[in-house]
Amino acid sequence: MALLEVKDLSIYYQMHRGDAKAVDGVSFSIKENETLGLIGESGCGKTTIALSLLRFIRPPGKITGGSIIYNGTNILDLSEDGMRRLRGNEIAIVRQEAQNALNPVLTVGEQIAEQIIEHDKVDKNTAWQRAKDQLELVGIGADRVRSYPHEFSGGMRQRVMIAIATANYPKLLILDEPITGLDVIVQRQLLKLIADLRDRFELTIIFIAHDLSVIAENCDRVVVMYAGKVAENSNTSDLYHKPLHPYSSALISSYPSILGERQELKSIPGAPPSLVNPPPGCLFADRCEHVMDICRQKIPPEYDIDGRSVACHLYEHSKEPQV
Amino acid sequence: MAETGLLKTTDTQKKKTREFFQLLLGHGMGKTGIIIIIIFLVMAFFSPLLWTNDPYKSGEAKDILVKPSAEFWLGTDDMGKDVWSQVVYGARVSIMIGFIAAVITVVTGAFVGIVAGFFGGKLEEGLMRIVDFFMMLPILPLMIVLAAVLGPSIWNIVFVISVVSWPTTARVVRSQVLSLKERPFIEAARCIGAPNKRIMFREILPNVVPLLFAQSILMITETIYAESVLSFLGLGDASKISWGQMLHFAFESGAMSNSPWWVIPPILSIVLLIVSFSFLGTAVSDVLTPGYKEKRGY
Amino acid sequence: MRNFLIRKVIASIVTLYAIVTANFVIFRMAPGDPIRMMFRDPRVSAEQLAEQTEKFGLSGSLWDQYLAYMGNLLQGDLGLSFWQKRPVIDVIAERIPQTLMLVLTALALAVLIGTFFGALAGWKSGKKTDSIILSTSLTLYSIPSFAMGIVLLMVFAYILTIFPLGGIRTPASGFTGIRSVLDVLWHMILPAFSIILWYVGEYILLTRSSMLDVLGQDYILTARAKGLRERLIRKRHALRNALLPVITITGVNLGFAVAGIIEAETVFSWPGVGRLIYDAVLKRDYPLLQGVFLVFAAAIILANFVIDLIYSFVDPRIRVGE
């Protein structure tokens, strides 16, 4: 059974000149212990989806339709308190290392322990001991439990964030570009740490990135998003070797090959259209090499091809990939 | 904010300006502030038409401390002078002193801020030390001391207020200039060999104009307040009626006990004018906050 | 931490020295030279004049005068008050307790009330509560203390007659012990309020904007993502961080805050240092004016130092030291 099922989710930002459809009819699901990649250019709705899974969408943003079924319950129907009990406890998030993700005036120990106390109702000493264990686990060392965030480097702070996110042994971990902005060696170390923790705690992970190589190494399945919609949903290896959607193949050829083959890097010309009053038809049409007349008239439905799905008119008559 | 100079397009600037005022009028506080300020400006500008008696003319014995009546709309003071006419005339003096002092303050502050931020180094450090020094001083006592030593005159009051108030503006302008300096269009101007003076006044200055506008409104609030306090404490120009001055005489003669009509109008005028400028100032800084437009959904 | 303190001490001393010097310059360079005025002032007797002339080196060069002035200052001698005909330092010293009493009470209450409503407004930002608190505080902050004082005086002392007209004690009442303490508090209510209302407005605005800033920070989202209760987020994460800049800005604003004291003490004839500055102006008592200015300046520098000290204890980023 799927641990999380997102069905036909729409999230609009309501503005004077109309609604910006940041997320428009998105569906995907994750099985337990699966790692799902969510990939796309910035502004394609990835982070909005991540926030919606914790029900963090605030005005002017609004979830206008669809459902998010977690463990059989639609979290959009939960009470505010019911939702709060899930956060940190069952669904945790690590976001892009921002300067201030940790509270500057509290020790890291306090910041881990407070979450443990909130959900597990343990006494202070137990929580403190568990906070130390967590720090040990993420490779910081229990002796730093009384340190303040400003005493750590960016990579170390991200380890603390991971320690917090896993402190209550959540089922679902959302990683929103967790290694962006860090240097390459630190990125490697963090990815290894995440992989270790996944195995140890049997985590189900949603991994959001704009960097394909990160996704390729770590994810079982990948959802490719473009302009608030799912372009393609596929297992990782098929996506790489045989991308179905023209956007997927453009994305893959815009990154250096991880296999080390020498290929010409292509950037994707143009930019996504405005999400307020977008043109009719496929939103990728203006940038697509294979654009047809129908692309500018009709929004492509999703076609199932060998257990993968793709939203592109190229697949209307044929089940054979034509890219 | 248009990145002017090399890339100047007057049309977009005009559009932005219009949009700015539209947003300002759409802001509740901004609208309230502007309406009240306009009323006072009209009062100050047309005061000779509005006063019913000579505000300086002392009355006869029977006209002393008269209650509001058809002849004296707001009654008279202890010298038999008409309160309404004094309030109308006082609007002139209070607003004029406030505006002039604010202009001097903002111009001085902007100049120091731009020079300090642009040149940096020892010059900046020195200027900012002076600014910090001023910020540490007890503002009102300093104004009182200066006004007392210089003697009571309108221009001394203007001078005293300006001398004490410019550092705040200098400080905010400098930090804005520091961030502007890193922007590409300044780099571009440098690359084509534009002289410093040109970069400072043709490239940087236009970009701090919105900030200066907000500062001016803030400063008018401060200067009108400062003028009223100094006059209330008896340091005003005895030959010019201002609201603070009226209150000084009313307070000294104990008018609070027996002639509220002499006390209430100047207090109300001071408070209303300062409050409306505060409202306008808040509206302006709200509208100028990045993201305000988007938040309102434009 | 130690370096931080040493730097602050040095900065304070330099500022104080600059103020003392500026004070000398202002009073010597101005067109209405107070020294020459003193010679003409009928209130000063011939012996006093001779004594002052010698003590302040008035017959010597400007430089001699400066040295004499600094020397006397170091011994706590601020000269002679024309009006009271006794040392300025004595006149000021006996006023200080009353001012401290008034200002500390007002400040403490204003900080409590102001930060509470400011935090509330910031927390409820964009809602009705916020706009009501915001416009009220802007209005309060824009009303000069002297205007507020006069209105309070008219309404509560003259019309309703439930509070005294001014001063610090009921004259010739012969109150002793607890009655006399209550009597002083009784007299303090109106002047304190005219300052409090002004300060409250300021603290609400400060705390609100600081709170808004903090609520936009990532660590608040982190706290929410942990599933913490709103109350805990508000108190431990938001308010604690929001109060830090409020502490700093309190120091920066002291230079402005002094105005409230002068205005309230003047309106209510409260026998403190603020009223003294008004009397010094009215009586054209320059040495006294000079002295009061120095006392205010020194008080602000001292208060700023204390605030820096407090700040270095509450903000771990400074505590651990650079």
Delineate the domains of chain C, giving CATH numbers in brackets. Answer: 2-74 (no CATH), 95-315 (1.10.3720.10)
pLDDT beyond 60 at B2: no
Asked whether the CA dihedral A126, A129, A133, A139 is positive or negative, the reply is positive
List the single best residue of A81, A100, A110, A161 to mutate versus C (max C Cβ within 10 A).
A100
Given a contact cutoff of 8 angstroms between Cβ atoms, the answer to whether A32 and A12 are in contact is no
What's the pLDDT tens digit per position in B153-171? Answer: 888 889 988 988 899 899 9
Cα–Cα dist C39/C55, whole Å: 15
For residue A27, the Cα-to-chain-centroid distance in whole angstroms is 14
Q: Check A89 against C227: CB less than 8 A apart.
A: yes
Q: What is the mean pLDDT of each run of 10 residues along chain A (323 residues)?
A: 90 82 91 91 86 89 92 92 93 84 93 94 93 93 92 91 93 91 88 92 91 84 90 90 88 67 64 82 86 87 87 76 49
Contact flag A118-C227 (C-beta cutoff 8 Å): yes
Q: Say which DSSP state B81 is in.
A: -
Question: Are the C-beta atoms of residues C251 and C234 closer than 8 Å to each other?
Answer: no
* Subunit contact C229:A84, Cβ cutoff 8 A: yes
Q: Is there a contact between B138 and C138 if contact means CB atoms under 8 Å apart?
A: no
Q: What pLDDT shows up at residue A5? A: 92
Contact map slice: B 258-297 vs A, CB within 8 A:
294-297
**How far is the CA of A217 from the CAs of A35, A162, A266, in angstroms?**
11, 19, 22
- Residue B282: list chain C partners with CB under 8 A: 134, 138
Model confidence pLDDT, tens digit, residues B191-247:
887 888 888 888 888 888 888 998 999 899 988 999 999 999 988 888 888 999 999
Q: pLDDT band at residue B277, thresholds of 50, 70 and 90?
A: very high
Residue A247 token pair: 């956007």
Segment holding A135, helix H or strand E: helix A124-137
Predicted confidence (pLDDT) at residue B5 exceeds the cutoff of 50: no
Residues of chain C with pLDDT under 70: 1, 29-44, 55-59, 319-322
Chain segment B101-124, per-residue pLDDT in tens: 999 999 999 999 999 998 888 999
Structure tokens at C4: 């931080």
- Stretch B176-185: mean pLDDT: 84
Q: Do B256 and C153 touch (CB under 8 A)?
A: yes
Taking CA atoms, B194 is separated from B200, B206, C237, in Å, by 10, 16, 49
From first CA to last CA, the distance across chain A in angstroms is: 33
Which of C222, C225, C244 faces A102 most closely, judged by CB atoms? C222
> Where exactly are the structural domains of chain A?
2-90+170-315
Question: Residues of A numbered 205-224 whose beta carbons fall under 8 angstroms of chain B's beta carbons: which are they?
Answer: none
Q: What angle do CA A215, A220, A224 make, to 5 degrees?
A: 55
What is the pLDDT, as a whole number, of residue B188? 81
Question: How do beta strands A91-94 and A172-176 pair?
Answer: parallel
Which phi-psi region, left, alpha or beta, contains residue A39 (left: φ > 0; alpha: ψ -120 to 50)? beta
Q: In what order do the strands lie in the sheet with A61-70?
A: A18-31, A2-15, A61-70, A73-74
Contact pairs from chain A to chain C, CB under 8 Å = 75
The answer to whether B180 and B207 are in contact (CB under 8 A) is: yes
Distance from CA of B291 to the nearest CA of A (A): 12
Question: Under CATH, which number does the domain A2-90+170-315 receive?
Answer: 3.40.50.300
Q: Which domain holds residue B62?
A: 2-295
d(CA B205, CA B173): 10
Q: How far apart are CA B89 and CA B265, in angstroms?
A: 12
Give residue-wise pLDDT tens across range B237-275: 888 889 999 999 989 888 778 888 888 999 999 999 999
Distance of CA B51 to CAs B58, B92, C49, Å?
15, 12, 51
Give the Cα separation of A150 and A148 in Å (integer). Answer: 6
Does C142 contact B278 at a Cβ distance shorter than 8 Å?
A: yes
Distance between CA atoms of residues A30 and B113, nearest Å: 57
Say if the Cβ atoms of B296 and A17 lie within 8 Å: no
pLDDT in tens, B9-49: 566 777 888 888 888 888 888 999 999 999 999 988 887 87
**Which of C1, C210, C213, C222 is the best substitution to test chain A (most A C-beta atoms within 10 A)?**
C222
Contact assignment for A84 to C237 by CB distance below 8 Å: no
CA B78 – CA B231 distance, rounded (Å): 18
| Residues of chain B contacting residue A14, judged by C-beta atoms under 8 Å apart | 297
Q: What is the mean pLDDT of chain B?
A: 84
Q: Is residue A177 a contact partner of residue A38, using CB atoms and an 8 Å limit?
A: no
Strand order in the sheet with A229-235: A91-94, A172-176, A204-209, A35-39, A221-226, A229-235, A308-311, A302-305
- Residue-level pLDDT at A218: 85
Asked whether the beta carbons of B37 and B221 are under 8 A apart, the reply is no
Q: What is the pLDDT of residue B298?
A: 56
Which phi and psi angles does A168 have, rounded to 5°? Answer: -105, 25
pLDDT score recorded for residue B295:
65
Nearest Cα to Cα of residue A239 among A210, A215, A206, A209: A215
- CB contact under 8 Å between C258 and B140, yes or no, is yes
Whether chain B has a CB inside 8 Å of the CB on A15: the answer is yes
DSSP string, B230-279: HHHTT-S-TTS--HHHHHHHHHHTTHHHH-HHHHHHHHHHHHHHHHHHHH
Contact A60 B297 (CB under 8 A): yes
Q: Which residue of C has its CA nearest to A148?
A: C316
ipTM attached to this prediction: 0.87
Q: How many CA atoms lie within 13 A of B127 on its CB side?
A: 25
pLDDT attached to residue A257: 57
Nearest-CB residue to C315 (from A54, A102, A105): A105
- Residue C51 pLDDT: 74
**Domain count within chain B:** 1
Q: Are C273 and C105 in contact (CB under 8 A)?
A: no
| B34, B275 contact by CB (below 8 A) | no
Task: Tell me the pLDDT of chain A averaged across its residues.
Answer: 87
Say yes or no for a CB contact (<8 Å) between B229 and C281. no
The C-alpha of C237 sits at a distance from chain A's nearest C-alpha, in angstroms, of: 7
Q: Can you give the CATH number for the domain in which B221 is found?
A: 1.10.3720.10
